[in-house]
């Protein structure tokens, strides 16, 4: 009994909470009578027992034997209950009234960008639909892999995202963080508005706050200060970075205003923001920070000072480094002699060099590499009597310390974006033993101009095949230059002839699908035809290779179409 009424009450709250109901008697007068007398006439007394719905439900739960409904008369109480319930049900349904609206969302801000051309719009829908699918693809292109470049191209044109695809885009970006920047730019103000309504898309608001979609700097100084004083950590970092871009001195003043009160982790991140717009005006502050309580902050200050040309710290580092690397004349020519420092003195420590090396490294070797990284590279030309970086790198190094010396110079070149030194240290792509690891060489490659980078990688791929080139290829500009693309396709063809399986090169194949210039698809057609007889050492590989090349060619054609739809919408008719 008690159970029944509780359940019943709960249900009223849960089930249709928002539709209010007419009073049954009012319903009879205002809404055309739904409980059609046509159907019920003759089957029940003219006046249906006027029993409340709640009472009908309790009678139904307990059964009419235990709880007969009133006014059933001499009829079967169960049939009378069903009659009455039918009338009440229809009254309830016909008497529904609108609910009261909850507060409406504020309207989305306007987005003045042009809408996508129809073909491109449809393409995007297909790319998004393919996102969730997986498994072996055979000859069909992997569409989801093309989403990042589609977004980049669409954003380059400044198109606005179709409203009905925004949920799909935000879901895609939620699942794949590499899509987030592209999606958020494309989604624009309406995307951020929508993300604000759905907790699943919180990331979009976070990213907007950290400046992925352009942080806003308040226009008045008081607003800037208020944001700096009261903002969240991410907002403050974004503000400082944005301010440094336009007014480095103003940014520095802002940071100094609260510096002593900041926590060590925050000091580290704010200091890192000074990389933007770093200049001589920052030197005095950075010198002060060399005395910071936190070791990590001290080390970072030292790194920044070392990057500042002509800073007192870089001069001090230059003096120390010069003492360690000495050109020595021998009968056979000049030899480089490397002498690591014997101690990390107070001056070196004050300049941010830590005494204890990371585990696995000798302390003298560690001090040496820190000195070499911190010294300006221009020093070595003078030290070696006017030699070029190529000539210096070519000199023999005594005691087998070449690898160590060159690696330190390489890190210095990468940190400073020094093209001449990077080029010299990279050497020829054909050189078999470069000494440097693939990671170090990739970092130096990234410093070179795009076409020189592509040329170097093409040379490497031609000499050593595609297997080792994965990292280098990833550093090249997309789409790959013509010589680079040609070299990769030829190398893949040679690998096929050698009888390997295509999936042993799946990384390079995947890169090629995304990065080859679509213009090359014609060159691939010939390769997509499977040889008549599987004559290779591994029977059956021909079919797989043919399939892999077909997918490659298909993906390239798709990419060509994808860019054409965005670049030249008229051509798609």
List the interface residues with other proteins, window 54-73 (CB under 8 A). Answer: 56-57, 59-66
Q: Tell me if 169 sits within 8 A of 186, measured CB to CB.
A: yes
Binder of other proteins out of 45, 50, 70, 93 (CB under 8 A): 93
Q: Tell me if 68 sits within 8 A of 59, measured CB to CB.
A: yes
CA angle 22, 23, 25 (to 5 degrees): 120
At closest approach, how far in Å is the CB of 9 from other proteins? 10
Q: Which stretch binds other proteins (CB under 8 A): 386-394, 400-408, 427-435, 548-556?
A: 548-556
What is the C-alpha to C-alpha distance for residues 284 and 274, in angstroms, rounded to an integer?
13
* Minimum CB distance to other proteins smaller for 344 or for 553: 553
* Minimum CB distance to other proteins smaller for 45 or for 223: 45
DSSP string computed for 394-405: HS-BGGG-HHHH
Name beta bridge partners: 337: 326
Q: By CB under 8 A, is residue 288 in contact with other proteins?
A: no
SS3 label, residue 44: strand
At closest approach, how far in Å is the CB of 105 from other proteins? 5
At closest approach, how far in Å is the CB of 146 from other proteins? 11
Q: Tell me if 194 sits within 8 A of 109, measured CB to CB.
A: no
* Minimum CB distance to other proteins smaller for 99 or for 249: 99
Terminal Cα distance for the chain, rounded: 72
At closest approach, how far in Å is the CB of 25 from other proteins? 16
Q: Tell me if 354 sits within 8 A of 295, measured CB to CB.
A: yes
SS3 label, residue 489: helix
At closest approach, how far in Å is the CB of 152 from other proteins? 20
Q: By CB under 8 A, is residue 42 in contact with other proteins?
A: yes
* Minimum CB distance to other proteins smaller for 33 or for 291: 33
At closest approach, how far in Å is the CB of 572 from other proteins? 7
* Minimum CB distance to other proteins smaller for 1 or for 47: 1
Name beta bridge partners: 334: 329
* Minimum CB distance to other proteins smaller for 4 or for 419: 4
Using CB under 8 A as the binding rule, the residues of this chain from 376 to 405 that contact other proteins are none
Q: Tell me if 320 sits within 8 A of 348, measured CB to CB.
A: yes
At closest approach, how far in Å is the CB of 81 from other proteins? 5
DSSP state at residue 106: P
Using CB under 8 A as the binding rule, the residues of this chain from 95 to 134 that contact other proteins are 95-108, 119, 122, 126, 129-130, 133
* Minimum CB distance to other proteins smaller for 126 or for 245: 126
At closest approach, how far in Å is the CB of 61 from other proteins? 5
Q: By CB under 8 A, is residue 141 in contact with other proteins?
A: yes
Number of residues that bind other proteins (CB under 8 A): 97
Q: Which stretch binds other proteins (CB under 8 A): 88-96, 229-237, 258-266, 363-371?
A: 88-96
At closest approach, how far in Å is the CB of 340 from other proteins? 59
Binder of other proteins out of 48, 49, 77, 353 (CB under 8 A): 77
At closest approach, how far in Å is the CB of 123 from other proteins? 9
Using CB under 8 A as the binding rule, the residues of this chain from 149 to 188 that contact other proteins are 163-164, 166-167
Three-state secondary structure of 280-331: HHHHHHHHHHCCCCCHHHHHHHHHHHHHCCCCHHHHHHHHHHHHHEEEEEEC
Using CB under 8 A as the binding rule, the residues of this chain from 301 to 320 that contact other proteins are none
Q: By CB under 8 A, is residue 205 in contact with other proteins?
A: no
Which among 220, 217, 247, 221 has a CA at the least distance from the CA of 235?
217
Quote the tokens at residue 186.
Answer: 């494309």
Binder of other proteins out of 48, 72, 81, 393 (CB under 8 A): 81
Q: By CB under 8 A, is residue 38 in contact with other proteins?
A: yes
- Residue bearing tokens 């000074």: 274
At closest approach, how far in Å is the CB of 83 from other proteins? 7
Binder of other proteins out of 23, 26, 43, 288 (CB under 8 A): 43
Binder of other proteins out of 49, 51, 72, 85 (CB under 8 A): 85
* Minimum CB distance to other proteins smaller for 78 or for 387: 78
Q: Which residues contact 175 (CB under 8 A, 6 or more apart)?
A: 131
Using CB under 8 A as the binding rule, the residues of this chain from 1 to 20 that contact other proteins are 4, 7-8, 10-11, 14-19
**How far is residue 186 from each of residues 111, 122, 125, 233, 259, measured CA to CA in Å?**
11, 16, 14, 26, 37
Using CB under 8 A as the binding rule, the residues of this chain from 411 to 430 that contact other proteins are none
Using CB under 8 A as the binding rule, the residues of this chain from 246 to 265 that contact other proteins are none
Q: By CB under 8 A, is residue 513 in contact with other proteins?
A: no
At closest approach, how far in Å is the CB of 516 from other proteins? 14
Q: Which stretch binds other proteins (CB under 8 A): 26-34, 245-253, 296-304, 339-347?
A: 26-34
Q: Tell me if 116 sits within 8 A of 533, measured CB to CB.
A: no
SS3 label, residue 493: helix
CA angle 121, 127, 131 (to 5 degrees): 145
What is the C-alpha to C-alpha distance for residues 361 and 567, in angstroms, rounded to an integer?
54
Q: Maximum CA pair distance of the chain?
A: 131
* Minimum CB distance to other proteins smaller for 126 or for 257: 126
What is the C-alpha to C-alpha distance for residues 426 and 422, in angstroms, rounded to an integer?
6
Which among 524, 453, 457, 518 has a CA at the least distance from the CA of 489?
524
Binder of other proteins out of 112, 199, 386, 400 (CB under 8 A): 199
Binder of other proteins out of 271, 487, 555, 569 (CB under 8 A): 555
Q: Tell me if 375 sits within 8 A of 313, measured CB to CB.
A: no
Instruction: Taking each helix axis as running N to C, give the angle between helix 166-175 and helix 180-195, from 0 to 180 degrees, rounded to the nearest 10.
Output: 130
Q: Which stretch binds other proteins (CB under 8 A): 80-88, 347-355, 423-431, 504-512?
A: 80-88
CA gyration radius, the chain: 37
At closest approach, how far in Å is the CB of 125 from other proteins? 8
**How far is residue 159 from each of residues 114, 171, 565, 569, measured CA to CA in Å?**
5, 20, 12, 12
What is the C-alpha to C-alpha distance for residues 12 and 17, in angstroms, rounded to an integer?
7
Quote the tokens at residue 62.
Answer: 């307990």
């Amino acid at each position: 009994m008690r159970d029944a009424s509780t359940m019943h009450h709960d249900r009223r709250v849960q089930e249709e909470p928002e539709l209010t109901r007419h009073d049954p008697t009012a319903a009879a007068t205002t809404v055309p009578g739904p409980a059609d007398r046509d159907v019920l006439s003759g089957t029940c007394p003219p006046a249906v027992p006027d029993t409340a719905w709640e009472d009908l439900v309790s009678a139904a739960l307990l059964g009419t034997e235990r709880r007969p409904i009133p006014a059933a008369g001499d009829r079967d109480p169960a049939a009378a209950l069903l009659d009455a319930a039918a009338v009440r049900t229809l009254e309830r349904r016909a008497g529904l009234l609108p609910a009261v609206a909850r507060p409406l969302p504020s309207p989305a801000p306007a987005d003045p960008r042009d809408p996508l051309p129809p073909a491109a719009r449809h393409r995007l829908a297909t790319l998004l639909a393919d996102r969730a699918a997986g498994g072996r693809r055979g000859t069909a292109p992997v569409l989801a892999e093309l989403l990042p470049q589609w977004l980049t191209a669409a954003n380059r044109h400044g198109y606005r995202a179709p409203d009905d695809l925004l949920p799909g885009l935000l879901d895609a970006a939620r699942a794949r963080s590499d899509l987030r920047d592209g999606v958020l730019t494309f989604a624009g103000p309406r995307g951020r508005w929508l993300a604000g309504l759905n907790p699943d898309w919180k990331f979009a608001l976070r990213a907007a706050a950290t400046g992925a979609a352009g942080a806003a700097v308040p226009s008045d100084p008081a607003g800037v200060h208020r944001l700096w004083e009261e903002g969240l950590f991410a907002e403050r970092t974004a503000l400082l970075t944005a301010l440094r871009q336009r007014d480095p001195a103003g940014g520095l003043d802002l940071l100094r205003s609260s510096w002593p009160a900041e926590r060590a982790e925050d000091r580290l991140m704010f200091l890192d923001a000074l990389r933007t717009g770093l200049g001589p005006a920052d030197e005095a502050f950075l010198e002060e920070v060399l005395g910071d309580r936190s070791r990590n902050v001290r080390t970072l200050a030292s790194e920044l000072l070392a990057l500042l040309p002509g800073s007192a710290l870089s001069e001090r580092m230059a003096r120390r480094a010069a003492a360690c690397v000495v050109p020595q004349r021998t009968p056979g020519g000049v030899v480089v002699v490397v002498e690591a420092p014997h101690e990390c003195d107070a001056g070196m420590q004050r300049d941010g060099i830590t005494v204890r090396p990371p585990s696995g490294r000798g302390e003298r070797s560690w001090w040496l590499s820190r000195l070499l990284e911190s010294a300006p590279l221009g020093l070595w030309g003078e030290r070696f009597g006017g030699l070029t970086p190529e000539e210096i790198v070519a000199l023999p190094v005594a005691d087998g310390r070449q690898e160590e010396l060159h690696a330190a110079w390489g890190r210095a070149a990468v940190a400073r974006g020094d093209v001449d030194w990077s080029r010299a240290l990279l050497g020829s792509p054909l050189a078999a033993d470069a000494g440097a690891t693939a990671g170090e060489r990739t970092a130096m490659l990234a410093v070179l101009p795009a076409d020189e980078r592509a040329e170097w990688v093409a040379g490497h791929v031609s000499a050593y095949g595609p297997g080792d080139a994965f990292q280098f290829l990833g550093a090249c500009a997309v789409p790959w230059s013509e010589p680079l693309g040609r070299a990769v396709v030829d190398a893949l063809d040679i690998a096929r002839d050698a009888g390997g399986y295509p999936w042993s090169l799946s990384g390079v194949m995947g890169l090629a699908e995304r990065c080859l210039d679509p213009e090359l698809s014609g060159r691939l057609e010939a390769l997509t035809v499977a040889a008549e007889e599987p004559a290779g050492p591994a029977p059956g590989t021909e079919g797989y290779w043919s399939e892999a090349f077909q997918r490659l060619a298909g993906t390239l054609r798709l990419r060509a179409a994808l860019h054409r739809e965005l670049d030249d919408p008229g051509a798609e008719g």
